Amino acid sequence: MNDQTSIMKELEEIQQAGLAALDAVRNENELQAWRIAHLGRSAPVMQIFSRLGSVPKELRPLVGQQANQVKLALEAPKKPAARRYTPKSWNGSCKLSAWM
């Protein structure tokens, strides 16, 4: 398996795992833990970004675009999930507001 196929497969697996884990979230604490695990600095998709320098120069744009798409795919569904676990009395000071 070449570098491009390997990293693209890894990105696909990261996205699938992240979305599956989000489906299992049942409360605000789990949602916060999910966000850290899948979008935080040490998250697998973020590790791909840090490895871009080791990807062959001609493949970097393609890998970078795919990594961005995975990140966006993981960010998109969390907004409704965050609202589901936000108290009705939320006044904008909730920690989740930073990523809603």
Span 13-33, pLDDT tens digits = 999 999 999 989 888 899 899
pLDDT 10s digits, 40-56: 999 999 999 999 999 99
Token code pair at residue 96 = 């989740």
For residue 6, pLDDT beyond 50: yes
State the Cα torsion 88-89-95-99 to the nearest 10°: 40
pLDDT at 85: 54
Token code pair at residue 11 = 């990105």
For residue 98, pLDDT beyond 50: no
* pTM attached to this predicted model: 0.75
> What is the DSSP secondary structure assignment for residue 96, as one 8-state letter?
G
